Structure 1
Amino acid sequence: MSILHAPLRVLGFGSPLMGNDGVGLKVIEVLQKTELEGLEGLDIVDAGVCGLDLLNLIEDARKVIIVDAILANSPVGSVHRIEGRDLLKGAEFHPLISVHDLTVTDVLMIGEQIQTLPEIVVIGIEIGTLVTEATTEISPDVLKGVDEAVELIRKEISSSL
């Protein structure tokens, strides 16, 4: 059983040491400073670059909102809402990225084979290029997507609780 207890979870992914890749964590940081933090039935979690541990984080949840950096050939800082089932279909659209070997999409595909997955929604912020050098700075263009992502997450939460 997961150590998390809420039926709705918001999980932010990324590395704070890889610049724009950390934008999912920035969204979590903003959410944790709002009235949503501590709301019964909701967990807001910095999931870092957890890899297969994602399966533990989604266990026992009714709905999971994943926030992550994406590469979707769209303007830098643009925000996308992606249904988890669309990622799992094996469609051509696989924008979730990772500085490690497994992407969120890879882990969800594994999870689909070994456990029952909750409803999953991905809020992705376009970062433009893969981050290859260590930095703690997120570009201003990518940061422009944070407020829009927070608003999309608020809408997801209000329609789910």
Structure 2
Amino acid sequence: MKKLVIGLGNPLLGDDGVGVAIVRELAGENLGVDVVEMNTSGFSVAEAMLGYDVVVVVDAIAGRKPGRIHRFSLDAMSQCMHFTSAHDTNIATAIEFMKRNQDFPRHVKFVCVEIIPKNEFDEGMSEDVKKAVIEAKNAVLDELNNELMEVR
């Protein structure tokens, strides 16, 4: 079974980089899983999923309690959308389009960490979000090992 973990975010925007921080933690382990960092959304992310059986996407979501971790199925993931682009579509729309492709994964999950978004450069994460990295990493591992993953 071919598995992929995609870490989304921009480490130059502080807490927004939590998805990247989590996949960097995973990359240091020998899991037999492909790990990718991306700072884009939409079709680039959806295309990266093609050819895999299982995909876990890790990202930050806007919220009120920094560090709180959420897990979403593919059907529910629209609740954790926080990014749009004038040059691309959002990930929910891109995934809906790409699901028509026979190479789209059978299992897709999202592990999201709440942040309070700031529109300023900051290479460090807040303490609450830093503390959530290991717990979120464990949530990703749990999703990768969960044989009862919801079918799309």
TM norm structure 1? 0.78
Report runs of 4+ in structure 1 exceeding 4 Å deviation: none
From 103, 120, 126, the equivalent of 1:133 is 120
Displacement, 1:158? 2.2
State yes or no: 1:106 paired with 2:93. Answer: yes
Structure 2: gaps of 5 or more residues = 148-152
Within 5 A, what are the aligned runs for 1:59-98? 59-71=50-62, 73-87=63-77, 94-98=79-83
State yes or no: 1:35 paired with 2:30. Answer: yes
TM norm structure 2? 0.82
Displacement, 1:100? 3.7
Count of matched residue positions in the alignment of Structure 1 and Structure 2 = 143
Structure 2 Cα separation of the partners of residues 26 and 121 of structure 1: 18
**CA distances 1:38-90 after superposition (whole Å, capped 9, x unpaired):** x2xx211112224321122111111110000012x452101111001223xxx
Q: Which amino acid aligns with 1:156?
A: E
User: Which residue in 2 is equivalent to 1:47?
Assistant: 38
Structure 2 Cα separation of the partners of residues 126 and 17 of structure 1: 17
State yes or no: 1:149 paired with 2:136. Answer: yes
Question: Once superposed, what is the RMSD of the aligned Cα atoms?
Answer: 2.0
Structure 1: gaps of 5 or more residues = 1-5, 88-92
Q: Which amino acid aligns with 1:80?
A: H
Using the aligned pairs only, state the percent identity. 24
Displacement, 1:106? 3.5
